[in-house]
Amino acid sequence: MVHSDDKTGNHPEPPTEDNSEPERIPVMQQILDNPFLLLFLGITIPAVFYVIWGIMEIVHIPIAK
Partner 1 sequence: MATNEQYRICPATGLRIYRSAENLIKANAVVAVVFLAVGGLFGFMVAMTRWKAIHLLPAKWFYLVLTAHGLDVLVVWIIFFEMAVLYFASAVLLNCRLATPKLAWTGFALMLIGAVVTNIAVLQGGSSVMFTSYVPMRAAPHFYLGIILFAVGALIGCFIFLGTLIIAKQERTYKGSIPLVTFGALTAAIIAIFTIATGAIILIPTFLWSLGYISHIDPLVYRTIWWAFGHSSQQINVAAHISIWYLIAAVIFGAKPLSEKVSRFAFLLYILFLQLASAHHLLVDPGISSEWKIFNTSYAMYLAVLGSMIHGLTVPGSIEAAQRRKGYNNGLFEWLRKAPWGNPAFSGMFLSLILFGFLGGISGVVMGVEQINLIMHNTLYVPGHFHATVVAGTTLAFMAVTYLLIPLIFQRELILPGWARVQPYLFGLGAGGISVFMMGAGTLGVPRRHWDISMADAQLPYDFPGAANLMMGLNGMSAVLATLGGFIFIVVVVGSLLFGKRIAVGTTEAASGSGQPAASAVGRYGSAEAPAVPGTLAMVGVFFITFILYYFVNWKYLAEIWPLR
The DSSP letter of residue 23 is: -
CB of 24 to partner 1, least distance (A): 13
Query: Counting contacts by CB under 8 A, is residue 2 touching partner 1?
Result: yes
Query: Counting contacts by CB under 8 A, is residue 63 touching partner 1?
Result: no
Query: Counting contacts by CB under 8 A, is residue 6 touching partner 1?
Result: yes
Q: What is the C-alpha separation between 59 and 53, in angstroms, rounded?
A: 10
Q: Which residues contact residue 38 at a Cβ distance below 8 angstroms, ignoring those fewer than 6 apart? A: 31, 32
Per-residue contact string for residues 27-56; x = within reach of partner 1 by CB under 8 A: -xx-xxx-xx-xx-xxx-xxx-xxx-xxx-
Of residues 23, 42, 45, the one with CA closest to residue 32: 42
Q: What is the C-alpha separation between 56 and 25, in angstroms, rounded?
A: 41
Question: Which positions touch partner 1 (CB under 8 A)?
Answer: 1-9, 11, 14-17, 19, 28-29, 31-33, 35-36, 38-39, 41-43, 45-47, 49-51, 53-55, 57-58, 61
